[in-house]
Structures are given as C-alpha cells and as structure tokens.
C-alpha cells in the first residue's frame, strides 16, 4: 500500500486530508510540526510527502531542503499563499509540485498525488540517450560514462519526456501536461524552476546548456551532442 506523509499544523485539515486520501486507498502518516518531520520520515519512509509551507517548529521550505538532502521522494507543497515568492522558494528547495489552498476539488489533490506516484513512461522500454547521457528507464537510472547521476523522480520524468522524442520542441504547456499531468495550467514557473534544477545536475555548464536546450519564446528540446 502507498504511504503519504501529510505535514500540516491545522488538525482539522490534516484529518480531512487523511479521510480523503484513505478513501482513495492511500495510507496516511500525519505530522503536525516541522521539526518532527525527519524522525517520522526516517522511521517510516513514505512514498510521497504533502508539506504545508507554514509550520510550527521548522518552516516547510526548510523541511523540504532537509528531506531533499536525504531522499528523492516526491514532495508536493501545500501553500495558503498563492504568492510567487513562496511558490518559487518551495520549488527551489526541491519540491516537485505545489498546490494552493483551497484546492478546487479533493479529486484534484488525489489526481496530483497519483501522477507523482505513477511509474511514468512505463511504455518506454530499454535504453534512451540524450546528449552524453544514457537513460535506463526500467532501472530508473541516468548514467554518464558509466557513473550514475541521482535525480528526483520528477526530474527523471522530465528528462525522459524530452529524450524519447529527440526532434520535438516541447512547449511549457506540453511539458506541464506530460510530466505534471495538468490539463491546462498557465503556471510555467513550475517548468522553468525544474529545468533549472535538472540542468544544474546534468549539464557540464548550466550557463550554456547542451542537453536541455531552450528554444526562445517556445519551450525546450533535447540537445544533440556533436558526434554522439
């Protein structure tokens, strides 16, 4: 059974989240303080973390950084502020996705969680290459000259999405629907922040990307390395 850790200081909301998730067949671990997260996390590693931004003890952004330092587990931030700075800070701290309270529908939350838990690209078999990287989709591994590069699930999905159609230029909206599972969202910051993070891990020089290339005014495409 899937385990989701819900970190929120509002008891009622946490309980409600618990009811909704349990109803969808997901096990829930409730944590109400930021500084208690890591203990619970280590004792009982979840498959996904739902993390509120405003927390007593330690704020959500800091918690997010702590989790990222140890694990590639998907993190979805819950934010009561739709304000840009909070969202971007959360994404930069390593969150994969965010949801602004109040959610449109509980089903929307479930859908997001399921998208993040789904083994994406199960249809792709064997080995992909992008630039000088080799991607083993089944084993969930990225290799450069035999050495493994650690990516979060989302970063992995993003890279695979680009790699499996090397000629295609993906708009940010297309990536949002392909990787994040949004039907139509206008929040392209999500894509921008994650592309930056992905580049910092896989590019030789993040200032002059050769693997994930920006097509100005359109979006991104997989880079073709000279010779390879």
Partner 1 sequence: MNRFFWKARNSLAFKVIISTVILSLGVVWITGSALNSRLSSGIREVNLNSAIAEARSTIFTADYRFLLAQGEKDSIVQKVVDDVISSATTITSNENTREVVFVRSPGNTRAINYEIASNLLDPETIPESLSERVRKSDDIVWQYATMRYLQGVSVPGLAIGQKVQIPNAGQYEMYIVFSLSNEEKTLNLISTYLLIAGLILLLLITLITWVVVRQVVKPVREAARIATEFTSGDFRQRMKVYSQDEISTLGHAFNEMAESLEQQIARLENLSRVQQRFVSDVSHELRTPLTTLRMASEVIAASKESFDPTVARSSELLVAQLDRFERLLEDLLEVSRFDAEVAVLEAVDFDIVQLVNRCAEDLALVAKERKTEIFVKSAEPVIMIKADIRRVERILRNLLANAIDHAEEVQIDVQIAASERDVAIGVRDYGIGLDENSLTRVFDRFWRADPSRARIRGGTGLGLSIALEDARLHNGELEAWGRPGRGAHFVVTLPRKTWESIDQRLIALQPEDYTA
- Which residues are at the interface with partner 1 (CB under 8 A)? 10, 12-13, 16-17, 19-20, 23, 54, 80-84, 101-103, 105-107, 184, 186-189, 217
User: With respect to partner 1, which residue has the nearer C-beta, 5 or 159?
Assistant: 5
Residue closer to partner 1 by CB (options 65, 189) is: 189
Give min distance, CB of 52 to partner 1, in A. 9
Which C-beta is closer to partner 1: that of 64 or that of 135? 64
By beta-carbon proximity to partner 1, the closer residue of 159 and 176 is 176
List Cβ neighbours of 60 (8 Å cut-off, separation of 6 or more): 7, 34, 51, 52, 53, 54, 77, 78, 90
Q: Write down the least CB distance from residue 99 to partner 1, Å.
A: 9
Closest approach, Cβ 172 to partner 1, in A, equals 9
**Least gap, CB of 91 to partner 1 (angstroms):** 14
- Closer Cβ to partner 1, 108 or 136, answer by number: 108
**What single string gives the DSSP state of each residue in the chain?**
--EEEEE-S-HHHHHHHHHHHHHTT-EEEEE--GGGHHHHHHHS--SEEEEESS-SSS-HHHHHHHHHHH----EEEEES---HHHHHHHHHTT-SEEEESSPS-HHHHHHHHHHHHS-TTTT--SEEEETTEEEETTTTEEEETTEEE---HHHHHHHHHHHTSTTPPEEHHHHIIIII--SS---THHHHHHHHHHHHHH-SSTTS-SSEEEETTTEEEE---TT-
Nearer to partner 1, 90 or 131 (CB): 90
């Amino acid at each position: 059974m899937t385990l989701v850790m819900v970190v929120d200081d509002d008891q009622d909301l946490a309980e409600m989240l618990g009811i909704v998730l349990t109803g969808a067949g997901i096990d829930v671990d409730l944590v109400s303080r930021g500084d208690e997260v890591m203990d619970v996390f280590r004792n009982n590693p979840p498959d996904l973390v739902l993390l509120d931004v405003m927390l007593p003890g330690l704020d959500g952004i800091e918690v997010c950084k702590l989790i990222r330092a140890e694990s590639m587990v998907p993190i979805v931030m819950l934010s009561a502020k739709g304000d840009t700075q909070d969202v971007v800070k959360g994404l930069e701290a390593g969150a994969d996705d965010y949801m602004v309270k109040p959610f449109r529908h509980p089903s929307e939350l479930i859908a997001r969680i399921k998208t993040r838990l789904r083994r994406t690209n199960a249809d792709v078999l064997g080995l992909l290459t992008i630039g000088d990287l080799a991607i083993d989709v089944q084993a969930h591994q990225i290799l450069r000259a035999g050495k493994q590069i650690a990516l979060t699930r989302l970063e992995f999905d993003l890279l695979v999405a680009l790699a499996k159609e090397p000629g295609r230029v993906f708009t940010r909206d297309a990536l949002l629907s392909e990787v994040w599972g949004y039907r139509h969202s206008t929040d392209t910051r999500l894509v921008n922040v994650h592309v930056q993070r992905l580049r910092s891990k896989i590019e030789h020089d993040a200032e002059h990307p050769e693997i994930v290339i920006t097509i100005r005014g359109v979006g991104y495409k997989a880079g073709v390395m000279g010779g390879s």
